[in-house]
Amino acid sequence: MNTKHFSAVTGLLLSGSLLFTSCYERGDYNAAPNNNYNNNYNNRGNTTTTNINPGYPAEMDEEFNGPDHYGWTFTDAADSTYGSVSNGSYQLVDYGTTLSSMIVVNTGINTQSNFTVTTRIESNKIMGLVFGASATSNGYAFYIDTSGNYSLYKEGTGTTASTVIIPSTQDSLYAVKDSWNVLEINQTDSTWTGYINGTQVFSMAASSLSGSEFGFKILPGTIGYADYLVVKNY
C-alpha cells in the first residue's frame, strides 16, 4: 500500500464554473456507519497484499478504530504538520502559515469505473476530501469550512497552485457550522455528484482521474478530524 503526505502552496481561488447544481435529500443517507474496528483485513479488492474476496468490487472501510495499517501517521517538523490515529478518529494538524498539508493512501479502488467515497470530517478552518490522486497527480478535493461553505478544486502538484472547479459556495440549509459534516462524492456514468449530510449540492461532468489514492487536505493553521473514510466500487 502507498501513503503520500506532502505540503504544497495554497491556491484556493474565488472564481470558477459550476456546471449545474441541484439539491435533494438521499433516502439511504447514514451519518454514522457501523464501527468495524479498523476493518482493513476484510476489505475487498487489492488494498492489501492478499485479495480476501476476489471477484467482488473493491472496497475500503477505514474507521480509525484500531492500529494504523495504512500509514496515516506522520510527523513533518519542517512544515509543522502531523497526522495521528487515536480515539476512533484521524487527526490532521497543520500549524504552519504558508503551506497546506495533504495525506492520501492507496485504496485499490478503480477510479475509471463507478465509485463512491464518504467521510465525516470536522475542522477549525477548512478541510477537504481528496479523491483520485496518484504518483503523478494530486487528484481533486471537496472542501467544507466552518461557516458551511463548500468548494471543489483540482489539486496542484509541487509548487503549482490548486485550480478552482466550484468556487466557495454557501450551504446554509444542509451544512452544519462549526461541527461535523458528512461529505460524499459519487462517480456514476461519467458524472460526479457531491453530497453534504446526505443532500445533493452539485452534479457535474466527471474529469479523468489517474489513481486510486484517497485522503484529506487542510489549509495552514488548521486542525482537522476524520471519523471514517469509506471508498468502494459498485
- The single-letter code of the amino acid at 25 is E
Model pLDDT, residue 17: 31
Q: Indicate the pTM of the whole model.
A: 0.83
What are 49-81's pLDDT values in tens digits? 344 445 556 899 999 998 998 999 999 999 899
Place of cell 485499490: 108
Instruction: For the chain, list the domains and their CATH numbers.
Output: 3-233 (2.60.120.560)
Model pLDDT, residue 10: 54
Model pLDDT, residue 4: 66
Q: How far apart are CA 65 and CA 10, in angstroms?
A: 31
Q: Which of 2-16, 44-58, 152-166 has the highest mean pLDDT?
A: 152-166
Q: How far apart are CA 179 and CA 193, in angstroms?
A: 23
- The grid cell for 44 is 475487498
